Amino acid sequence: MQASPALVSSDDLYLFNTGQLFRAYRTFGAHLMEFDGQFGVRFVLWAPNAREVSVVGDFNDWQDSDRSVRLSPLGTTGVWVGFGPGLREGASYKYEIVNADGVRQLKSDPFGFQSELRPNTASVVTSLHHHAWHDRDWMDDKKKNPPYSKPMLIYEVHLGSWRMDAPEQFRNYEQLANELVDYVCSMGYTHIEVLPITEHPFDRSWGYQATGYYAATSRYGPPEGLMKLIDRCHRRGIGVLLDWVCGHFCKDDHGLRLFDGTALYESSDFRRAEKPLWGTLAFDFGKPQVQSFLLSNALFWLDVYHIDGLRVDAVASMIDMNFDKPESMRTLNRYGGTDDVEALHFLRKLNETVFHYYPESLMMAEDSSSYPAVTSPTYLGGLGFNYKWNMGWMNDMLRYMETDPAHRPSRHSLITFSLHYAFSENYVLPLSHDEVVHGKRSLLNKMPGNYNEKFANLRLFYGYWMTHPGKKLLFMGGEFGQFDEWKDYAGLDWSLLQYPLHDSMHRFVKDLNRMYLDTPALWESDHRQIGFEWIDVNNASQCMLSFQRMEQTSESPIITVCNFSRDKYPVYRVGVEKPGNYRLLLNSDRSDYGGSGYETPSLILAQNIPMHGKSHSIEVPVPALSILLWKSESA
The domain boundary residue, chosen from 489, 505, 522: 522
Q: What is the mean pLDDT of residues 90-115?
A: 96
Domain assignment present for residue 271? The answer is yes
- pLDDT of res. 3: 47
Per-residue pLDDT, 634: 66
Count other Cβ atoms within 10 Å, centred on residue 413: 13
Which of 313, 367, 396, 551 is labelled catalytic?
A: 313
Q: Among 489, 522, 555, which residue terminates a domain? A: 522
Angle between helices 288-305 and 10-17 (to 10 degrees): 110
555 and 622 belong to one structural domain: yes
- Based on the fold, state whether residues 333 and 200 are members of the same structural domain: yes
Answer whether residue 132 is part of any domain: no
Average pLDDT score over residue span 168-177: 94
Same domain, yes or no: 337 and 373: yes
Question: What is the 3 state secondary structure string of 203-255?
Answer: HHHCCCCCCEEEEECHHHCCHHHHHHHHHHHHHCCCEEEEEECCCEECCCCCC
Local confidence band at 5 (pLDDT 50, 70, 90 cut-offs):
low
Average pLDDT over residues 333-356: 97
CATH, residue 570: 2.60.40.1180
- Is 425 catalytic? The answer is no
Amino acid at 270: F
| Residue 576 Cα distances to 460, 536, 557, 613, angstroms | 22, 11, 9, 9
Query: Does 131 fall in a domain?
Result: no
Same structural domain, 346 and 369: yes
107 near 115, Cβ under 8 Å?
no
Q: Are residues 403 and 487 in the same domain?
A: yes
**CB neighbours (10 Å) of residue 127?**
13
- On the question of pLDDT at 2 being above 50, the answer is no
354 inside domain: yes
Please state, in angstroms and rounded to a whole number, the distance separating the CA atoms of residues 444 and 483: 6
187 and 69 in a single domain? The answer is no
Task: Say which CATH number the domain at 39 has.
Answer: 2.60.40.10
Check whether residue 473 and residue 537 sit in a common domain: no
- Give the chain's mean pLDDT: 96
Give the Å distances, CA to CA, from 620 to 21, 83, 572, 594. Answer: 62, 77, 5, 21
Q: Which of 12, 193, 284, 366 is catalytic?
A: 366
Is 350 part of any domain? yes
Q: Quote the percentage of the chain above a pLDDT of 90.
A: 94
Which pLDDT belongs to residue 385? Answer: 98
> Do both 275 and 424 map to the same domain?
yes
Confirm whether 452 is domain-assigned.
yes
- In this structure, the answer to whether residues 369 and 502 fall within a common structural domain is yes
Residue 595 has pLDDT above 60, yes or no: yes
246 and 289 belong to one structural domain = yes
User: Is 142 among the domain residues?
Assistant: no
480: Cβ contacts below 8 Å, ≥ 6 apart: 494, 496, 497, 502, 503, 505, 506, 509
216 shares a domain with 87:
no
Nearest to 363 by CA among 306, 311, 426: 311
Q: Do residues 382 and 259 both lie within one domain? A: yes
Residue 315 lies in a domain: yes
What are the beta bridge partners of residue 514?
Answer: none
Q: What whole-number percentage of the chain has pLDDT above 70?
A: 99
Question: Quick one: average pLDDT of 170-180?
Answer: 96
Examine the fold and report which residue of 522, 545, 579 is the final residue of a domain before the chain moves on. 522
User: Looking at residues 305-317, what average pLDDT do you find?
Assistant: 98
CATH of the domain at 253: 3.20.20.80
Domain range for 45 is: 5-124
Residues 160-182, mean pLDDT to the nearest whole number: 94
Per the annotation, the verdict on 366 as an active-site residue is yes
Give the chain's domain count: 3
